[in-house]
Amino acid sequence: MRGKIIILLSLMVLAGVLSEHPALAHNFVQNSNADLIAKIQEFKVETNLIANNISNNTLAQWHVSKSQEYIGSNDIGTLAQKDPTLSNNLSTAIDELYSLAGQPNADPATASQKASSLSQILDQVESEEISTADQNNATIQSLALVNVVNQALKDYGDAIGSTVDLTNMSNMNMGSSSGNMQGMSGMQSSGNMQGMSSTTIVNDGDYQSAQALTNTAQVMFNNLKSISPTSSSPYLDKIDSALTSLKQAIDSKESGDDVMMIVHMQIHPNLISAFNIQSVPEFPIPVLLAIVSFIGIVAISKIPTKIK
């Protein structure tokens, strides 16, 4: 019986090894300060879009809802424990802008001014919550940039009605707006933006968010360059060019695969190399089974055979 169990476990080890494949997704180590920086930038994007769409109540309200994914009552409550005055100012500014979004015939100039004031308060929040050292830490800032780029990718996937997660690199060749086409239309491995055809937008709010986030990503990268270590120099132009390509691809409504190629094959790898970002590989299930099986073989082999 022991021999049969060992043979079975050995087969599982072999299957695991044969099934092993390189991890395709870029899963970055999380950093709370990088997450907060990204959330603040993403919230700014949505509040500016509320102001930009103040004459379109449907879109304005859509961006109100979207903004609450980044900063909500819990975040404001946490801030209140540290700085009640700043928390109150932030809450008031948000409420005033949200209120305008719910009014018919709201004044665009007033909405723009409210969004601008809110942005300034958010800058104060970032300065208070993030230490100067971390604000000038290129690795933390690059992780924040990764988060914003990934959010742009997610929003673009929703905008084109993609049936797969564009932030997961293993879904490449399946990321077009049409699930039946398997994402092959307009694939450009070289990053050339001359796709065969544009993709249909099915959600205008998500598309606006994706476009605005790519603009924000470029601004963040320009700021990042000023604190970049000398060792990052060989990669900066590549990242800059890739971010420009990402903006062009989204503005031109390229396929999900085109956009994924830029992010996963150009932006992510160069950011990893430039700023020493730790990317955590996926752990393939077959390999996990192989390891467990191997341990089982060792354990069983150590059990002494019964002597009759």
Q: pLDDT by residue (tens digit) across 102-130?
A: 999 999 999 999 999 999 999 999 999 99
Give whole-number Cα distances, 165 to 112, 130, 141, 155, in Å. Answer: 33, 31, 24, 10
Q: How far apart are CA 52 and CA 115, in angstroms?
A: 9
Cβ-proximal residues to 292 (8 Å cutoff; 6+ apart), any chain: none
Q: In the predicted model, what is the mean pLDDT of residues 261-272?
A: 95
pLDDT of residue 169: 87
Share of the chain above pLDDT 70, in %: 74
Q: How far apart are CA 302 and CA 304, in angstroms?
A: 6
pLDDT of residue 290: 45
Backbone angles phi, psi at 279, to 5 degrees: -105, 120
**CB neighbour class for 121 (10 Å; exposed up to 12, middle 13-18, buried from 19):** middle
pLDDT of residue 30: 83
Which of 28-32, 59-63, 175-179, 261-265 has the lowest average pLDDT? 175-179
Q: Which two tokens stand for residue 184?
A: 């092959």
pLDDT of residue 276: 84
The conformation of residue 198, written as its DSSP 8-state character, comes to P
Q: Which two tokens stand for residue 28?
A: 């970055």
Q: In the predicted model, what is the mean pLDDT of residues 268-283?
A: 78
Higher pLDDT: 42 or 187? It is: 42
pLDDT tens per residue across span 238-254? 999 999 999 999 999 99
Question: What distance lies between CA 72 and its chain's CA centroid?
Answer: 19
pTM (two decimals):
0.78
Pairing, β 279-280 against β 27-28: antiparallel
**pLDDT at residue 308 above 60?**
no
pLDDT tens per residue across span 129-186? 999 999 999 999 999 999 999 999 999 999 999 999 999 988 887 655 444 343 333 3
8 Å CB contact between 258 and 242: no
pLDDT tens per residue across span 191-224? 444 444 679 999 999 999 999 999 999 999 999 9
Share of the chain above pLDDT 90, in %: 69
pLDDT of residue 139: 95
Higher pLDDT: 36 or 24? It is: 36
Taking the C-alpha atoms of 174, 28, 152 and 178 in order, what is their torsion angle to the nearest 10 degrees? 10
Question: Which sequence spans correspond to the domains of the chain?
Answer: 2-21+286-301, 27-283
